[in-house]
């Protein structure tokens, strides 16, 4: 504005603002909408497998620290280390901090900002400009020292939507951290169950080695007395060699399981050496807290993550729509301005001002519409990921229930086979005592019994792993069913117990 000109009348100012708003309204992207809608969980069908396994409402008692039901203090300590020191958990915590920092930036846009500025310039003042005597046509300097303030007037909800999107991304980061911890804990438990199984299988193999060594010694005595041929002794020694090989394999499996647990916790092999033999108890089968999908899926952190991503994408669309309208700010400044640095800090150089500032998109080459289209596409992608996660979650629960049922059936068959061979061994001992069979017959039946005990130990491990997998599928939230009564898993072999 030229010096000496009169300010615009109020009517002209209002007319100018109206023209700006009309021009802005012409640039809206109301025809751009997402193609997908967020799924309605109440319309989902959990299926008969889940509904039949869900506990009645009167029996639902949510288990929070689910791994504690195994009753192993060492496992509890490993879980504490996992929650505090595991690299995956620490990385998830860093993502939460990053999301919170982004949210802090978004909230800052909703608050007034104050900045300071200073400027010193040496220049030549032209005759035909705003400068009067004695500055016009002469060289000199000018300076300013100002405090500037700006406050966004959020008429269109742009900054509110940006903050809401940042809030949802914080929620997503927290849910991702919960999911990472759940996956880590279930992986540790599975490795711990495998370690327990390796120890039990080694016990069975060691007992078999002792028994077979006894048979070999007996055959050696009979061979010297010419009561048996060396073929029988060779067969017995081959059985011993095979058992020792199996023990060596299991020793390596024990070390591998220890190292796997240590690696999951972000620890070195030295930490693995400190892991003692597990002492796991049997647990009741986990049951869903509800057969209603909306309730069931509410406990899954990965579902919560994708839901938060959908909400964040919806708020991003709000930000993109608000960008079509003017940004209206209140701005102001106060400080000192002077055409002579010697007068800069004098009372006569005090300057101040305040008023609205409007930034209006008029012709942007389609940038705003493209941005809105991109945000709508992001929303569709988030909804698709959410739907896929929901489907996968329900499938994992149904598969987990079916797998656990199958493993129990396999374990029942293994238990029945063990009972059968235990009776056969008892009968074989009676026959041997009456001279109706020899040591090789007993070796064969005891070998079959040891193999059946090995299958039982492996079945126990598969059941425990299936239980852990189902707990993970339930989001770590479950209630004990009545399929099993808690108790300590027996260690050692039937042969050892029957000595």
Q: State residue 33 phi and psi, 5-degree precision.
A: -135, 150
Strand partners, 120: 143
Enumerate the H helices of 86-157 as residue ranges. Answer: 87-108
Residue 496: what pLDDT? 41
Enumerate the H helices of 265-300 as residue ranges. Answer: 269-272, 293-297
User: Distance between CA 166 and CA 305 in Å, rounded?
Assistant: 14
Q: 484, 460 in Cβ contact below 8 A?
A: no
Query: What 8-state DSSP symbol labels residue 364?
Result: -
Full set of structural domains in the chain with CATH: 30-110+157-187+284-325+367-497 (1.20.1600.10), 115-153+327-360 (2.20.200.10)
Q: State residue 155 phi and psi, 5-degree precision.
A: -65, -35
267-308 pLDDT, tens digit per residue, is 999 999 999 999 999 888 888 888 888 888 888 999 999 999
**Nearest-CA neighbor of 281 among 495, 496, 485?**
485
pTM, full prediction: 0.81
**pLDDT tens digits for the chain (499 residues)?**
333 444 445 555 555 555 555 554 445 677 889 998 988 888 888 888 888 888 765 555 565 689 999 999 999 999 999 999 999 999 999 999 999 999 999 999 899 999 999 999 888 878 777 777 777 777 888 889 999 999 999 999 999 999 999 999 999 999 999 999 999 999 999 999 999 999 999 999 998 888 777 777 666 666 666 665 666 666 777 778 888 899 999 999 999 999 999 999 999 999 999 999 999 998 888 888 888 888 888 889 999 999 999 999 999 999 999 999 999 999 999 999 988 888 888 888 899 999 999 988 888 778 999 999 999 999 999 999 999 999 999 999 999 999 999 999 999 999 999 999 889 888 888 887 777 777 667 777 877 888 899 999 999 999 999 999 999 999 988 888 754 433 334 334 444 444 4
């Amino acid at each position: 504005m030229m010096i000496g000109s009169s300010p615009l009348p109020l009517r002209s100012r209002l007319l100018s603002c109206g023209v700006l708003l009309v021009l802005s309204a012409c640039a809206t992207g109301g025809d751009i909408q997402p193609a997908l809608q967020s799924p309605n969980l109440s319309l989902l069908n959990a299926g008969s497998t889940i509904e039949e396994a869900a506990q009645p409402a009167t029996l639902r008692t949510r288990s929070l620290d689910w791994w504690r039901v195994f009753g192993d203090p060492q496992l509890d300590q490993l879980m504490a280390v996992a929650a505090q020191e595991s690299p995956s958990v620490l990385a998830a915590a860093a993502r939460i901090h990053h999301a919170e920092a982004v949210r802090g930036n978004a909230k800052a846009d909703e608050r007034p900002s104050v900045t300071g500025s200073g400027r010193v310039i040496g220049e030549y003042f032209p005759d035909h400009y705003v400068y009067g005597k004695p500055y016009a046509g002469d060289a000199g300097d000018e300076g300013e020292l100002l405090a500037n303030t700006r406050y966004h007037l959020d008429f269109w909800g742009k900054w509110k939507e940006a903050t809401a999107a940042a809030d949802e991304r914080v929620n997503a980061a927290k849910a991702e951290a919960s999911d990472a911890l759940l996956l880590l804990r279930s992986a540790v438990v599975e490795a711990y169950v495998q370690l327990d199984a390796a120890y039990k299988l080694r016990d069975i193999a060691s007992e078999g080695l002792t028994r077979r060594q006894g048979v070999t010694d007996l055959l050696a005595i009979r061979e010297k007395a010419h009561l048996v041929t060396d073929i029988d002794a060779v067969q017995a020694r081959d059985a011993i060699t095979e058992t020792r090989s199996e023990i060596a394999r299991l020793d390596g499996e024990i070390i591998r399981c220890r190292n796997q647990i240590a690696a999951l916790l972000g620890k070195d092999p030295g930490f693995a050496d400190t892991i003692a033999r597990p002492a796991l108890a049997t647990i009741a089968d986990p049951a869903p807290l509800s057969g209603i999908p909306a309730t069931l899926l509410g406990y899954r952190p990965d579902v919560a993550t994708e839901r938060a991503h959908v909400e964040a994408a919806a708020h991003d669309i709000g930000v993109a729509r608000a960008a079509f309208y003017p940004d209206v700010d209140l701005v102001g400044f106060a400080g000192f301005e002077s055409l002579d640095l010697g007068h800069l800090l004098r009372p006569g150089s005090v300057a101040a001002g305040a008023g609205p500032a409007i930034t209006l998109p008029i012709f942007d080459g389609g940038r705003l519409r493209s941005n809105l289209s991109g945000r709508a596409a992001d929303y569709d992608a988030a909804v698709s990921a959410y739907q896929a996660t929901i489907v996968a979650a329900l499938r994992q629960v149904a598969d987990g229930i079916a797998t656990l049922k199958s493993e129990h059936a396999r374990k029942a068959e293994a238990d029945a086979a063990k009972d059968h061979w235990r009776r056969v061994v008892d009968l074989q001992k009676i026959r041997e005592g009456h001279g109706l069979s020899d040591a090789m017959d007993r070796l064969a039946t005891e070998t079959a019994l040891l193999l059946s005990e090995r299958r039982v130990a492996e079945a126990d491990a598969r059941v425990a792993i299936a239980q852990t997998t189902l707990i993970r599928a339930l989001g770590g939230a479950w209630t004990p069913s009545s399929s099993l009564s808690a108790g300590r898993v027996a260690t050692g072999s039937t042969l050892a117990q029957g000595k």
